[in-house]
Chain A
């Protein structure tokens, strides 16, 4: 009978370092793992600083591995073959899953000290069986090997055999750092910013400003699809869709054209903060990258940042576009972000946006508007959508 990889070993990373908080981090990580594996039948086993996923249908293995690689807080994953700790059985399975030729080594980790053999002796015995089974095609080389067979002998009477170590998403379990409100535009940068902060344990909330009829339902769908991609990493996301057209009309009617974007962004920040606070978010997250566009110059950021008290996390502030695109490709948001729907709101884009706005100017122009009234109206019309 062919040997099945019947157990998936999960190692967790940084949460080791967190001393007293470990219990809290672990409970979050376990919850997130279970959420990620929703819809699949399996058993979760916790044992001696590691987790094991067992009793799943063989055809679900790759899906489980794929989902686990997106859970923050996991350091690495290995599909393993779980067998009774019996040297003959281990040797038989090892020979079956080993490549048929090349140089190898066996590394044994022995938690069970009652077995009367040291790790090295175990390794030598298993290596011997592998050599014999290969009919001379395999060679042992402890230093320059083509593959390494790991045998993890645990105290529960079972051993776990594996070759692969698949890197996990690293980071901290989602939720352990609190909540953050992500400004999600539909472009390339904002989902990446969300991903980067989620990796540091932030539970994401997202806010999108919609300019119907100037932007279409497709543009909104694009934002929902982006949020959906992020949920693979950070679980459910609450998306707030704010109607923004009236605010754009008001700015367009009463403020100089070149300040359109600056003042629009000040409104966005204010609204984001209001909804963030109402949802216990400790930060606003944006995808701004210094100097990328007129609204992301140092002076522009001073002017847009000055309307809020919450900290604003800008994880991409020092990133180049290609670095951002690399991550966007990795998290599979790039192809969604480049769908060409957002340019429909160009009707409000000034020909020459101000690059170095002065705070005093922005404040003076804005004083022509009923800021609070407009914000109240926008928040009242806000739609809340749960993604994931």
Chain B
């Protein structure tokens, strides 16, 4: 089976499976317990926290949450905002940001949405027009999960701070962390969301980086874990695995990015030969994501047809059932039948050139059959 839907989730690695098993059966103690075993668990937890902070090259703290979505929620709802201030989000943000922003709008905030380019990156001029000095919060994703487009968050954050020095800048880094080098110390990014299961660690764990001196209030209350910012007994097994996965990813980042990039480049070249296919991902986007759209074959139909061939891919469209992709297709300015024809391939460390070749062969075969019937 070829799995090209790694932006949705990844397979656990041998290391993370081993760690999770160890923490569930042997090191299962509650990190809040005061006996030795509990203290050890707490120490391991903080070690993972430090590892992640190190990879971010951040100056601040990392708070573990229940997932990328919760991290985004904690950022948007937990950060102090001026009641009359403006909130700006990117036009192709993940639903975790979009839906949270819509909720904030319901609560009376002036929420505006910055336009995006055809590749999903935030349009810089469009963004500047919306940026006012009473802006209180900005959220722009680092790597777009639908297209792989990379936003220069350092540049956006600096502009925000220049115009509205008190505004908080958040970035959803779920598709970036572990897949590109980061240096949050050098840029005024205040909050940064991450997710464990995009790196081969378990689902149900996320993290939020909070820069020094940025004030965030909890949205979950209880026993006061994570410095009071995220009550709930810590998921030590997943946290330890996340820490190890981060170390692993960054230890061989250049090699992985090169091999994944070769897979992407091969497929990109091949599908570009089909005239009615429009490549959406930018040339210089994340090597882990390749998105294109066909005007002849629906994305979902392609997905199911490839599934039969043993290839799992993602789609930007599940007909009208996927509201998110409708919103994104609209934001990307896709017209007519292209809107339903979005296909997203996303790669991870184990994907190979052989898989890319096999994919291309089967894709062409299936595409030829399906395009006869149109859509």
Tell yes or no: B284 within 8 A of A by CB.
Answer: no
B373 and A252 form a contact (CB under 8 A): yes
For B308, B321, B375, which residue has the most chain A Cβ atoms within 10 angstroms? B321
Tell yes or no: A343 within 8 A of B by CB.
Answer: yes
B301 and A213 form a contact (CB under 8 A): yes
Given contact pairs A343-B319, A344-B300, A213 touches B308 in the complex (Cβ within 8 A): yes
Chain A residues positioned under 8 Å from B302 (CB to CB):
213
Tell yes or no: B307 within 8 A of A by CB.
Answer: yes
Can you name the residue of chain B whose Cβ is closest to the Cβ of A249? Answer: B373
Q: What sequence of 0s and 1s flags, for each residue 210-238 of chain A, a beta carbon within 8 Å of any chain B beta carbon?
A: 00111011100000000000000000000
CB distance from A49 to the nearest CB of B (A): 52
Number of interface residues of A (CB under 8 A): 16
Q: Identify which of B298, B307, B308, B370 contacts A344 (C-beta below 8 A).
A: B298
Query: What's the Cα separation between A41 and B300 when bound, in Å?
Result: 46
A212 and B374 form a contact (CB under 8 A): no
CB distance from A212 to the nearest CB of B (A): 6
Q: Identify which of A212, A213, A217, A340 contacts B319 (C-beta below 8 A).
A: A340
Would you list which residues of chain A between 312 and 335 have a CB under 8 Å from chain B?
A: none
A residues neighboring B (CB under 8 Å): 212-214, 216-218, 249, 252, 339-341, 343-344, 346-348
Can you name the residue of chain A whose Cβ is closest to the Cβ of B317? Answer: A344
Given contact pairs A340-B320, A343-B319, A216 touches B375 in the complex (Cβ within 8 A): no
A347 and B301 form a contact (CB under 8 A): yes
Can you name the residue of chain A whose Cβ is closest to the Cβ of B306? Answer: A213
Chain A residues positioned under 8 Å from B373 (CB to CB):
249, 252, 347-348
Chain A residues positioned under 8 Å from B374 (CB to CB):
347
Given contact pairs A213-B305, A249-B373, A347 touches B298 in the complex (Cβ within 8 A): yes
B308 and A216 form a contact (CB under 8 A): no
Q: Identify which of A213, A340, A347 contacts B321 (C-beta below 8 A).
A: A340
Number of interface residues of B (CB under 8 A): 17
CB distance from A244 to the nearest CB of B (A): 14
Chain B residues positioned under 8 Å from A252 (CB to CB):
373
CB distance from A255 to the nearest CB of B (A): 14
Chain A residues positioned under 8 Å from B304 (CB to CB):
212-214, 216-217
B320 and A347 form a contact (CB under 8 A): no
CB distance from B216 to the nearest CB of A (A): 37
Given contact pairs A347-B373, A347-B375, A341 touches B305 in the complex (Cβ within 8 A): no
Chain A residues positioned under 8 Å from B321 (CB to CB):
218, 339-341
Chain B residues positioned under 8 Å from A218 (CB to CB):
321
Would you list which residues of chain B between 283 and 337 have a CB under 8 Å from chain A?
A: 298, 300-305, 307-308, 318-321
Beyond A213-B303, A216-B304, A343-B319, 10 extra complex contacts between A and B, CB < 8 Å: A212-B308, A213-B302, A214-B301, A218-B321, A252-B373, A341-B319, A344-B318, A344-B319, A346-B319, A347-B374
Query: What's the Cα separation between A42 and B301 when bound, in Å?
Result: 50
Query: What's the Cα separation between A166 and B243 when bound, in Å?
Result: 58
Chain B residues positioned under 8 Å from A340 (CB to CB):
319-321
Can you name the residue of chain B whose Cβ is closest to the Cβ of A216? Answer: B304
CB distance from B102 to the nearest CB of A (A): 20
Can you name the residue of chain A whose Cβ is closest to the Cβ of B320? Answer: A340
Query: What's the Cα separation between A214 and B320 when bound, in Å?
Result: 14
Chain B residues positioned under 8 Å from A344 (CB to CB):
298, 300-301, 318-319
CB distance from A335 to the nearest CB of B (A): 14
Query: What's the Cα separation between A339 and B304 when bound, in Å?
Result: 18
Offer 6 A-B interface pairs, CB within 8 angstroms, sorted by A: A213-B301, A213-B304, A213-B305, A249-B373, A340-B320, A347-B373
Query: What's the Cα separation between A214 and B370 when bound, in Å?
Result: 10
Can you name the residue of chain A whose Cβ is closest to the Cβ of B302? Answer: A213
